[in-house]
Structure 1
Amino acid sequence: MTNYLQNYLGGAWQARAEPVNKLLDPITGAHIASTGGKAENLQAGFDFARTQGSAALQAMSYGERAAMLDQVLKVLQANRDAYYDISLANSGTTKADSGVDIEGALFTLGYYAKLGAGLGDARLLLDGSPAIYSKDKLFQSQHILTPVRGVALFINAFNFPSWGLWEKAAPALLSGVPVIIKPATVTAWLTQRMVADVIAAGILPPGALSIVCGSSAGLLDQLRPFDVLSFTGSADTAVAIRSHDAVARHSVRVNVEADSLNCSILGPDALPGTPSFDAYVSELVREMSTKSGQRCTAIRRALVPAGIFSAVAEAASAKLAQIKVGNPRNEEVRMGSLVSREQYDNVQAGIRKLAGEAQTIHGGSSQPLVDADPAIAACVSPTLFGIRDADQATLVHDHEVFGPVSTLLGYRDTEHALALAQRGLGSLVASAFSEDSAWLARTAQALAASHGRVHTVTPEVAKTQTGHGNVMPGSIHGGPGRAGGGEELGGLRGLAFYHRRSAIQGSAQTLENLSATAKAWIV
């Protein structure tokens, strides 16, 4: 009997409905779980969260909510093995790739639990110092941050069912804002199991955490002016969300993470045989293969000096050829599958599209899969394209293939490389590899305006750097333009989305009394 993924709204599990969506093992095609259609009693569920959930959370201090996050972390740690099993069956990931999702979520939860503990018994946050508006300095103004009086609705993508939940829920719950999560249906099992485990533990107050596993129909209609919405997914869906009445008429605050044609730049000094050259090639291969390239931060465009284009192509192709693709239950396999045959078809279509303007440097379609039937499994081997004259490329700067696919692009000089990077029209992350720290600093500054994060690597940090694609909770995650224009995480900055900033004007004594229960937001 397969698992039925129930919705949890209004502080109660909803009755099982007729299954509408089937979740399949992307390797074997076996039916592993089901969800229903539209959730019942949406309005009542949202109202319950706004009233019961919000009131209970905001009656606590930041320190008390941080302690609650720590208890949530312990529950998830106790069930870690089950999550790895679900990830393998539902997402087709190797143990290492499942760890990127699961351990990343646990690390982020722990990070915010510790960060929140530092806020102690504070119940509001101070933003900056008082502004003085009178000559006697008695009349002043102080900006404060208070939690929103609504719910946080999360509509998430399929690639990170664990981290995608907790990297958003951790700062929301720490802020005192109840969460309603709508995971992508195709990989909803892991998200639903984690929510179920936390609910069963009784750590959170009723209404603090809810989940809708099936259809998203009607969810946006429930949003009210003081709610917030965070969306991760395609740019086309983001356009529809931003035009919805809840956003357009009621000014619901929205955070979007959308398409991103991230790039990585190999410095002009990084010739073959240098540590920077080797580190760059290794990072490119890792980014193409981790989670089968299904990361919003993966390297899609690899910019290298035109004079060593062939050397990079040969080195990367040699490493890619060593990657065994197939059933992650086999210990020899280094890269599992995409999440579904639908995603497989999308990636194959994208590969054919890019092949229209790019040379295939390494294409793994002829490589046999390990313990997997190519007619059933959603496995795609890594594909590296190349375009020596990058100025002639158009599709590679406009179309993201969300899989193990990247394109090598030659550049003439630093200014040319920066111009190519800008053609992504805004990305989540860019990285640069060089032994010249001064060049890296100038390059980072030039890239910063169009990238949410700039990751620079010199040989001395090559072994300790966290990786081009890894999102760390202490750094901003998001990006301008095509990437959605949003921001998540960034330490205490991650709490800003779930707070309202207000200017409190009054006497110095009034503001001093106000500050008695406050902590500085950013120190």
Structure 2
Amino acid sequence: MLEKRDFYINGQWVAPATSNDFAVIDPSTEEQCAVISLGAQADTDAAVGAARAAFDSWSQTSKEERAALIRKLLDIYNARAEEMAQAMSMEMGAPIDLSRAQQVGAGAWHLEGFLKAFEDFSFERDHTATEKTLLEPIGVCALITPWNWPMNQIVLKAVPALATGCTMVLKPSEIAPLSGLLFAEFVHEAGFPPGVFNLVNGDGAGVGSQLSAHPEVDMVSFTGSTRAGIAISKAAADTLKRVSLELGGKGANIIFDDAHPKAAKAGAIRCFRNTGQSCNAPTRMLVHRSRYDEAVEMAAETATATHVGPASEEGRHIGPLVSKAQFDKVQALIETGMGEARLVAGGLGRPDGLNRGFYAKPTVFADVTNDMTIAREEIFGPVLSIIPFETEEEAVRIANDTPYGLTNYIQTEDDEKRRRVARRLRSGMVETNGQGFAQGSPFGGYKQSGNGREGGSYGLEEFLEVKAVSGWAAE
């Protein structure tokens, strides 16, 4: 069993101020795989203090110096990719092939994207011949990240903060902390100055709340549930710090009558990816009535054919849910759905042959209406709800009838319709015909899916203040 109790503060690994052990559970086996310590106020204060002390010098370093260190971080990240893949697979249950290709790959992809965006990014912009607009680092940042895509979210926050000259304290999820600790090793190996990057493990009620309310923290960047995002916003309000939030989703996947014949299959696969534990998962499939029966059958067949197994096994299967709490939540919502809609695949309990581990059956509900619980709540498991529609107007209305607004999806061969519907969908992202987003695209949502954007130049701007200076002499 791994013992990872220390925190990374001011360039050193230090013991917690007070012992407070927390067991990390392997969701594939339900066995303890590591122990960490949860931080206390003294640990939070020490990390924030180190970040504050480092800010003056780090914020004045050159763009070239910061870029060189980030390139070195990318090299280390790639060289130690297998360690990272194994850590994430064990801590949060991503099958090892998915962990290598997508969980680790997401971090490398965003690192590369930030370096590209940084090349042409200007921190000084001419407003008039005698006036400059300066973009300056906001200060000390608290980065609070989730367990479902650990490296994706840590890189999306830590790297732009580093690039813009901010200093930071990272609090990764206590459920999946091993990848964050490994990332801290990478930062240390790359040679970032002491105090620029700090890490304190803890839970939301402890270190998370302490960081959100801390008077010496200038910004909180949080990814997680909408409930927690609201709590963080309230805690941050007393000090009027900036809060950037990437929260929940309930994405609609609109399949029009002229969609690709395999659109329903592709949509179900995408819903089940990462065991449904993605905020941008297309969990509501809206299908034109003429294609509805076919889509229900195709999605049910896809669910039945989706293999579920341990994260340590190679292959294209899906793994367990991350924790017992998540398993219990998903099971309760499946049970609710069985009383609301027509179950066509999956259901309660573990898949056959899996008696231990937090495994859920890929589940499909048909004849769902948008007022049902399973259509309203973010389930965060491999559960798909299929809703019929008759007209484009109805499809848009159903898609937008949600408190969330992260990612919606459109499937149609009609280019004009695709553009027209994309403009009307109230979400930060609209993916059409399975075409993924380019490197550096802005990631974020409308409504209760949060505020702010991550990735590329948009992600850099999140960590900057804007200063107008008049009377700037010609250089």
Kindly indicate whether residue 261 of structure 2 is the aligned counterpart of residue 277 of structure 1. Answer: yes
Contact 1:46/1:222, CA 8 A, preserved across alignment: no
Structure 1 residue 19: Cα displacement: 4.7
Q: Which residue of 1 aligns with 2:305?
A: 322
Correspondence for 2:36: 35
Aligned-partner SS, 2:379: coil
- Give the superposition deviation at 1:175: 0.5
Q: Which amino acid aligns with 2:231?
A: A
Question: What is the DSSP-based 3-state SS (H/G/I as helix, E as strand, rest coil) of the residue aligned with 1:356?
Answer: helix
What is the distance in 1 between the residues matched to 2:97 and 2:331? 24
Aligned to 1:205: 193
Task: Note if 1:21 corresponds to 2:22.
Answer: yes
| Equivalent residue number for residue 520 of structure 1 | none
> Could you tell me which residue of structure 2 aligns to residue 51 of structure 1?
53
Q: Distance in 2 between matches of 1:68 and 1:332?
A: 35
Q: Which amino acid aligns with 1:456?
A: T
Structure 1 residues 187 and 226: alpha-carbon distance in aligned structure 2, compared to 1, 3 A threshold: closer
SS of the residue 1:162 aligns to: helix
How far did residue 365 of structure 1 move?
A: 4.6
**Which of 431, 441, 447 is the matching residue for 1:481?**
447
1:475 alignment partner AA = S
Contact 1:262 1:424 in 2 (8 A): no
State the TM-score, normalized to the length of structure 1. 0.84
2:98 corresponds to 1:125: no
State the 1:344 CA deviation.
Answer: 0.7
Secondary structure, aligned partner of 1:487? coil
Deviation at 1:198, TM superposition (A): 2.6
Match of 1:379 among 345, 359, 364: 359
Q: Is 1:143 matched with 2:109?
A: no
TM-score by length of 2: 0.93
- CA deviation after TM superposition for structure 1 residue 333, in Å: 6.1
Distance 1:18 1:206, change over 3 A: same
Amino acid at match of 1:171: P
Is structure 2 residue 112 aligned with structure 1 residue 110?
yes
Whole-Å separation in 1 of the counterparts to 2:239 and 2:39: 24
Give, in whole Å, the separation in 2 of the partners of 1:211 and 1:84: 20
Q: CA deviation at 1:441?
A: 0.8
Instruction: In structure 1, give the amino acid aligned to 2:224.
Output: G
Point out where structure 1 has 5 or more consecutive residues left out of the alignment: 132-137, 271-275, 514-523
1:260-283 Cα shifts (integer Å, max 9, x gaps): 11111112323xxxxx131x2232
Paired position in structure 2 for 1:423 = 401
Displacement of 1:353: 2.2
Q: 1:222 to 1:319 in 2, by over 3 A?
A: closer
* Number of equivalences: 469
Alpha-carbon deviation of 1:248?
Answer: 1.7
Unaligned 5+ segments in structure 2 are none
**1:472 CA displacement:** 5.1
Q: CA RMSD in A?
A: 2.2
- In structure 2, C-alpha distance between the alignment counterparts of 1:369 and 1:6, rounded to whole Å: 40
> For the residues of structure 2 that align with 1:86 and 1:346, how far apart are their CA atoms?
25
Per-residue deviation, 1:239: 1.7
2:462 aligns to what? Answer: 497
Between the aligned partners of 1:473 and 1:255, the Cα distance in structure 2 is 20
How far apart, CA to CA, are the structure 2 residues paired with 1:207 and 1:152? 12
Return the offset for 1:141: 4.1
Partner of residue 161, structure 2: 172
Q: Distance in 2 between matches of 1:421 and 1:263?
A: 5
Q: Is the 8 Å Cα contact of residues 375 and 385 (structure 2) preserved in structure 1? A: no
- Structure-2 residue corresponding to 1:519: none
Show the counterpart of 1:233. 224
Deviation at residue 231 of structure 1 after TM alignment: 1.1
* Residue 36 of structure 2 corresponds to residue 71 of structure 1: no
Equivalent-residue separation in structure 2 for 1:14 and 1:319 (angstroms)? 49
Contact 2:5 2:15 (8 Å CA) reproduced: no
Matched, 1:351 2:317: no
